[in-house]
Structure 1
Amino acid sequence: MMLEVLQSGPLSLLQDKGRFGYQNQGVTTGGPMDEHAYGWGNWLLGNDLNSTQIEVTLGMASFRFHATTYFALTGADLGASLNGKPLSSWFSYHAVEGDELRFTRPVSGMRAYLSVHGGFRVSPMLGSSSTVCREGIGGLNGDGKRLEAGDNIPFSLSDSRINTKVPNWAIPDYDSPLEIGIILGSQQALFSEDAKKTLFSSFFTISQHSDRMGFRLEGQPIIAERYDVISEGIGFGAVQIPPDGQPIVLMKDRQTIGGYPKVGTLSALGASRLSQSRPGSEIKFTPLSVSHAEAELRLFQEVIYRR
């Protein structure tokens, strides 16, 4: 049973939760840019929480089902349709052999997640199917290549009666003003009070030079008092400040170590929300406590795990 790629669009990648335990060897985690949308996709279908999905960026992709299954769409509205019938995100649907799923252009958000009941059956590399093109690892054949027209992705036959929708309270509005919290970190002492006031009072614009490795921001410079810091490990959502003062938010395909000062980090759910914002969008930062970030993540995980 296969899903055939008819058109891959700008970037369609196989992703599970990510590749963990290898950052000390220089291998990044990869994984879904939007953990929130990915998690709800598995919840809709009752899948294992690490099931492989397809992350479709910016649309213009199409697929053909070669077996009966249930599938779910979460994340961005990329103008999806099944055999020409429009589909909404955050729902599960039934497909039979020969059905064609198409994405057009973004209506809201940047990244949609396509999951099938039971997950796509892909052999893991270093414990994960996540595709990291820069490192040449993961994906359909383990070589880190993006999906291309003609690829066939295996999945298991399923005709289970699934008919679910993500609760309204959990569906984000990707068109609302973007305000994301930063947890100030151990290197905040490298930034003056004036620099931190600038960080929390300014609007930044997402640069065209943003990708799965990092989101570059443009705005009033945030200047560190020194830059001669020892390189250390970098987590998802870390906000590093290079000498030009323009913040970079490190995302899923980030390098594993870095030596630029880091003023703090976004929460995982905050970085997920950022990943759905297109270049040219404005973002404002607010202070975020560890306890508040943990409470948000706990609520999300409790609902996802509970099914």
Structure 2
Amino acid sequence: MGFTVKQPGMLALLQDAGRFGQHRIGLTTGGPLDKRAFDLCNALLENPVGTTAVELSFGGLELVATEDTFICVTGADAPLTIAGEEQPLYTVLPVRAGDTVHLGFSENGCRSYLGVADGFKVTESFGSTSTVVREGIGGLQGGKLEAGDTLHCSAISTRKQLQLPAQHRPVYSDELTVRVIPGYQLSHFPRYQQRRFFSLPYTVSTRSDRMGYRMEGPEISCDIQGILSEGICLGAIQVPADGQPIVLLNDRQTIGGYPKIGAALSLDLALLAQLRPGQQVHFTPISQHEAHNALHLAANNNVTALFEDLGT
């Protein structure tokens, strides 16, 4: 076995790196909203990239261990206890059979990732374990975790107790500037509308979810009301008839017919997904060259070199 879910929290989903190559049959990608925190969780546990973990929105998860193993929690700043003892985040921690693992409600950010040594054992669906509730696939029977569910994992007796020092951890604030690569439909937005979008603040709507973050703020209009449906990339910023932009995320539909002013840089989507309703977003344009450089620099940032081994 591994863990029994005692309290599932607001929204706990099993996620791996995502479901790729299935858009042709209408299945979306899924995967972790905050890829950076997800990857750090697996790297600290020395798991292969993309190993299945639990993504928890806002907190409130309680698990009871039925095997000895090691866990790690990254992402939102939320209180973590094991067997009633406070524990640090971004740290590989031992768990013994019978221990209760409790992750409280987050104080900064809203997405947490709980991983286990060697990952949770879940049957793949269309090449991935990622849960997409709208499509009813992945995870456990295609839905969010419920009280009484069992999360299977291997019994692990040894693991390096690695930790990412606090000064190198992601910082989640209540305001964010998102870099945007303008799209080919930008010319359909008059210059005044472009200036409004790139200079005035928006707030995150309460209607935001894993499909997309809806913005509330200045209305944006363009000279076309709709387009032929076409494929939608991660981070595409649609502008529907009400003029309120939507930044599309992992569980987005595979095609759509709303005009798009551009696409958010993927590096910024992790921080965007940590914002709560009511928090503020600014958009700023960047060139494809600048986006390429930012991605290249991020790919060459070896964060694992910063890990500390608490057992040495």
Range class of TM-score, shorter chain: over 0.9
CA-based RMSD of the aligned residues comes to 1.7
* Counterpart mapping for 1:53-68 below 5 A: 53-68=53-68
CA distance in 2, matches of 1:88, 1:199: 40
Structure 2 letter corresponding to 1:148 = E
Q: How does 1:218-229 map to 2 (within 5 A)?
A: 218-229=216-227
Is 2:155 aligned against 1:145? Answer: no
2:271 to 260, 270, 273: 273
Aligned partner of 1:52 in structure 2 is: 52
Task: Give the direction of change, closer, same or farther, for the CA distance of 1:301–1:97 in structure 2 (3 Å limit).
Answer: farther
**Alpha-carbon shift at residue 4 of structure 1 (Å):** 1.1
Distance 1:282 1:52, change over 3 A: same
2:4 counterpart of 1:4: yes
Is the 1:76–1:89 Cα contact (8 Å) retained in structure 2?
Answer: no
Q: Distance in 2 between matches of 1:235 and 1:162?
A: 38
Deviations 1:220-252 (A, max 9, x none): 111112123111111111110011110001111
CA change 1:294–1:224 in 2 (3 A) is same
**3-state secondary structure, aligned to 1:134:** coil
CA contact (8 A) 1:203 1:283 kept: yes
What's the TM-score, normalizing by structure 2? Answer: 0.93
Conservation of the 8 A alpha-carbon contact between 2:2 and 2:155:
no
Once residues 195 and 236 of structure 1 are traced to their aligned partners in structure 2, the CA distance between those partners, rounded to angstroms, is 23
Matches within 5 A, 1:1-307: 1-140=1-140, 143-168=141-166, 170-175=168-173, 177-303=175-301
Q: Could you give the per-residue CA deviations for residues 37-66 of structure 1, whole angstroms, max 9, x where no partner exists?
A: 111111101111020000011111101111
SS across alignment from 1:196: helix
Distance 1:289 1:46 in 2: 36
What is the deviation of 1:176?
Answer: 5.1
Single out whichever of 125-134 and 170-179 deviates more from structure 2: 170-179
Distance 1:120-1:298 versus aligned 2 partners, 3 A rule: farther
Q: Against the structure 1 CA distance between its residues 298 and 164, is the aligned structure 2 distance closer, same or farther, given a 3 Å change threshold?
A: farther
Gaps of 5+ in 1: none
Contact 2:17 2:130 survives alignment (8 Å): yes
Higher mean C-alpha deviation, range 160-169 or range 217-226: 160-169
Q: Secondary structure at the match of 1:40?
A: helix
* Residue identity in the other structure for 1:80: L
| Alignment TM-score, normalising by the size of structure 1 | 0.94
Superposed displacement of residue 261, structure 1: 0.5
How many residue pairs match? The answer is 305
Instruction: Summarize deviations over 1:141-196 as a string: whole Å, max 9, x none.
Output: xx311111111111112122312122556422212531111111111111111111
Alpha-carbon deviation of 1:306?
Answer: 6.9
Partner residue in 1 for 2:308: none
CA distance in 2, matches of 1:187, 1:148: 43
Q: Which moved more, 1:89-98 or 1:205-214?
A: 89-98
CA distance in 1 between counterparts of 2:301 and 2:153 reads 26
Deviation at 1:128, TM superposition (A): 0.2
Question: Percent identity of the aligned residues?
Answer: 41
